[in-house]
Amino acid sequence: MTLHVKTSQGTYDIWIQRGALHRAGEVFNLSRKVLIVTDSGVPEDYAMTIASQCDDAVLFVFEQGESSKTLTTYSGILEALTMNAFTRTDCVVAVGGGVVGDMTGFAAATYMRGIDFYNIPTTLLSQVDSSIGGKTAVDFMGYKNLVGAFYQPRGVLIDPQVLETLTPRHITNGLAEVIKMAATCDEELFHLLEAAEFSESVLDEVIIRALQIKKQVVEADERESGLRKVLNYGHTLGHAIESITTPSLFHGECVALGMLPMCAPAVRDRLKHTLERWGLPTEFSFKSEQLIQVCRHDKKTAGDTISVVFVPEIGYYDIKQMSFGEFEDLVREVTQL
């Protein structure tokens, strides 16, 4: 299955197929110098499988984890490109999760003002979310994704088979973003997540359908000036929870909790059931005052109001401008359950 994504810089393809890792050379131009970037947690085989399909491959491996998403690692990628005399006609390939993809994309965007970037996401979160939309970044001075660029890949290859080595918790973490997309935009996909048992074919379908939703959203709003805000459902509160609980809760787990207050009561029941059945948290162990305090510093605040994605009915959403009082009431409804 191939999805064609239209951007202002042209079109690129997302190729989704089990076993596709072994056939990357069929869809990517690897007959040139190729810098393969991966991290220490991604099974080495994956990068090696890509290297075996290149004429001239250089490997760059950094320490796994968000704490590596820094200017230092970014600089290391640029050094590898420079030391190996990469030119504008060469390319980089990211093989890994969102950390690898975001940083490799940013290095590709800035080396010689832009060289070709291919992305091979290997976590569920990166397959359904970060590999599409052109956002690249590194963290800076404690702020997440503070330095970055919009830079579109030349191509994306998604091989659901690589998820077999991922921990169940990382699968669940990615599913939170899928549940978010389904709750706001696709009632049918939500129903599938509510009812289906986990299997390879369900996973493949979930990946494809989540990508179709994200493709529609980012094509309509490439630079996040309007529609793309829907992707922030659960994120305002989610980020606040993340800043209090990191590293004990993963991003998707925080988003799961962040979605619960921002919906109608009937939606909340279905959402809670669905999050629970996939092993995502639904219980709050922190005080609403603590969360509100952090939310007041969110980018989406303006004076005493905050912009929030709210789900009135599964498959639909509103972007509401709320006072902090209203926001706090919603958070309280859930934290005091």
For 175-242, give the secondary structure using H, E and C. Answer: HHHHHHHHHHHCHHHHHHHHHCCCCHHHHHHHHHHHHHHHHHHHHHCCCCCCHHHHHHCCHHHHHHHH
Q: Provide the minimum distance between the beta carbon of 116 and ligand NAD in the complex, in angstroms, as a whole number.
A: 18
Among residues 209, 214, 229, 268, the one annotated as catalytic is 214
When binding is defined by CB under 6 A, the residue of 90, 116, 129, 159 that contacts ligand NAD is: 129
Strands 143-150 and 135-140, bridge-based pairing: antiparallel
Please confirm, yes or no, whether 135 is among the known catalytic residues.
Answer: yes
Taking the CA of residue 336 as centre, how many other CA atoms within 13 Å lie in the half-sphere pointing to its CB? 8
**Centroid of chain to Cα 152:** 15
Q: Of 30, 206, 190, 193, whose CA–CA distance to 127 is shortest?
A: 206
Please confirm, yes or no, whether 239 is among the known catalytic residues.
Answer: yes
Q: Provide the minimum distance between the beta carbon of 144 and ligand NAD in the complex, in angstroms, as a whole number.
A: 6
- Given the complex with ligand NAD, which of 252 and 335 has the nearer CB atom? 252
Q: Provide the minimum distance between the beta carbon of 141 and ligand NAD in the complex, in angstroms, as a whole number.
A: 16
Q: Does 64 bind ligand NAD (CB under 6 A)?
A: yes
Which CA distances in Å does 216 have to 186, 213, 232, 294?
12, 5, 15, 31
**CB of 314 within 8 A of CB of 287?**
no
Please confirm, yes or no, whether 4 is among the known catalytic residues.
Answer: no
Please confirm, yes or no, whether 29 is among the known catalytic residues.
Answer: no
Q: In a 10 Å sphere around its CB, with 0-12 CB exposed, 13-18 middle and 19+ buried, how is residue 298 labelled?
A: middle
Q: Does 99 bind ligand NAD (CB under 6 A)?
A: yes
User: Looking only at Cα atoms, what is the longest distance across the chain?
Assistant: 61
When binding is defined by CB under 6 A, the residue of 39, 90, 116, 186 that contacts ligand NAD is: 39
Selected range binding ligand NAD among 95-103, 241-249, 258-266, 321-329, rule: CB under 6 A: 95-103
**CB of 113 within 8 A of CB of 150?**
no
Q: Provide the minimum distance between the beta carbon of 64 and ligand NAD in the complex, in angstroms, as a whole number.
A: 4
Among residues 135, 180, 209, 268, the one annotated as catalytic is 135
Q: Does 282 bind ligand NAD (CB under 6 A)?
A: no
**CB of 173 within 8 A of CB of 128?**
no
When binding is defined by CB under 6 A, the residue of 5, 20, 34, 69 that contacts ligand NAD is: 69
Q: Does 186 bind ligand NAD (CB under 6 A)?
A: no
Q: Provide the minimum distance between the beta carbon of 92 and ligand NAD in the complex, in angstroms, as a whole number.
A: 16
Catalytic residue positions? Answer: 113, 135, 177, 214, 224, 228, 232, 235, 239, 251
Judged by the rule CB under 6 A, the positions of this chain that interact with ligand NAD are 39, 41-43, 64-66, 69, 96-100, 102, 122-123, 125-126, 129-130, 133, 135, 144-145, 162-163, 165-166, 170, 173
